[in-house]
Amino acid sequence: MNDLVLKGGRVIDPSQGIDRVTDIAFAGDTVAAIGDGLAGKDTRDVSGRIVSPGLIDLHTHVYWGGTSLGVEAELVARTGGVTTFIDAGSAGPGNFHGFRRHVIETSPVRILPFLNISFPGIFAFSKTVMVGEAADMRLLNAREAVRVAREHKDLVLGVKVRVGKSASGDSGIMPLDIALDVAEETGLPLMAHLDSPPPSRLEVVSRLRPGDILTHCFRPFPNAPVTPGGDVREEILAARARGVIFDIGHGGGSFGFGTTRKMLAGGFLPDVISSDVHAISIEGPAFDLLTTMSKFLCLGVDLATVIKLATVNAAAAIKRPELGTLKVGAVGDATVIDQATGRFDYADSIGETLIGDKRLLSAGVVLGGRWWHPT
């Protein structure tokens, strides 16, 4: 007997090319079946709603209590429908053990982290105090980063580095080069943040390897990936051709509608949609993953593709094929979504607004084959 059945929803699973009204069953902590007329001990009517694989947010900051930018993953999961949070380098070698013991291991939702190349991680990020963790080269120790990545190799997904005027100050490109050395030594991918120059977009993108992730990939000028005339820059096209992964990472200052319209018009979709939710951006304009997904929906990207960019594509980026899918035997995570219609105001990170007619809202979360929220 199945433990849980979601009945009558529009099941959209891009990993299998499924988009139809049917039932989905869970047994134990895995997906048991997709089909009509399924029965289970706990049956939930989700008619008129969308059922997707559990959403994966590839860029978040959830070291709550240990860093100034951290938010509580459980609360964001309940409102935003996310079942897997990828923490984008909140913790570094000096405080990663605390992140693991006090947050990751006690969380009811899945948290998978990137390790920050800077020893204290992102330690001073708030509305009143802002100090880039890569601005002081004394905080970057490659051997310490390698040591901690190896000690926690069962958990660490990759290496995170933030470069740009805000994050690395006068250090320029050097933190990225150190992070690449650590990533190569440990056999891990790199996630690179780029804000305003220095360094330049070209310096950063040209260094990234296949499987590395460029987050904030649709950022506004300066360091935008598109020319003023609307052409996708050559170094961006070359990076995609060699296998670099392009992630949105909306955040508080890293997503522009103008850039996005030009990139989409040029046929350049991001590989992954993520929120970069943290203590500031959670108050807007990012809010959460579903809000970021809604913006792409309102910009003309179809629903199945929007879901693909927050499920199977995100799982592929972190090499976790058991996530982001509703295949039989996969991890039993699902997100139930309401698609509301009306008039909705959206904003990007530089104040441009968009009036959209669609909004995605969380209507329920399944974790490990059990209905988790709302209770």
Is there a common fold for 2-52+329-340+356-373 and 54-317?
A: no
Please report, rounded to a whole number, the percentage of residues in the chain having pLDDT higher than 90. 99
Each residue's pLDDT tens digit, 219-256: 999 999 999 999 999 999 999 999 999 999 999 999 99
Average pLDDT, the chain: 97
Between the CA of residue 275 and those of 38, 51, 61, 291, what are the distances in Å? 35, 20, 10, 8
Q: Where are the domains of the chain?
A: 2-52+329-340+356-373, 54-317
Question: CATH class for domain 2-52+329-340+356-373?
Answer: mainly beta
Each residue's pLDDT tens digit, 100-133: 999 999 999 999 999 999 999 999 999 999 999 9
* Residue in 278, 254, 291 with CA at minimum distance from that of residue 85: 278
Q: What is the CA 328 to chain-centroid distance, rounded?
A: 24
Rounded Cα distance, 19 and 24, in Å: 12
Average pLDDT over residues 35-56: 98
Rounded Cα distance, 158 and 134, in Å: 17
Between the CA of residue 53 and those of 39, 43, 56, 161, 324, what are the distances in Å? 20, 18, 9, 29, 5
Please report, rounded to a whole number, the percentage of residues in the chain having pLDDT higher than 70. 100
Rounded Cα distance, 369 and 333, in Å: 6
Identify the pLDDT of residue 274: 98
How confident is residue 374, by pLDDT bands cut at 50, 70 and 90? confident
DSSP string, 208-256: PPTT-EE-STTPPSSS-SB-TTSPBPHHHHHHHHTT-EEB---TTTS--
Q: Is 57 helix (H, G, I), strand (E, B) or coil?
A: strand
Identify the pLDDT of residue 308: 99
Question: At which residue do the structure tokens 């895995």 appear?
Answer: 30
Q: State pTM to two decimals.
A: 0.98
Residue 375 has pLDDT above 90, yes or no: no
Q: Looking at the DSSP assignment, which residues form a beta bridge with residue 365?
A: 335, 373
Fold exhibited by the domain 54-317: TIM Barrel (3.20.20)
Average pLDDT over residues 205-218: 98
How confident is residue 261, by pLDDT bands cut at 50, 70 and 90? very high
Average pLDDT over residues 342-358: 97
112 touches 318 (CB < 8 A): yes
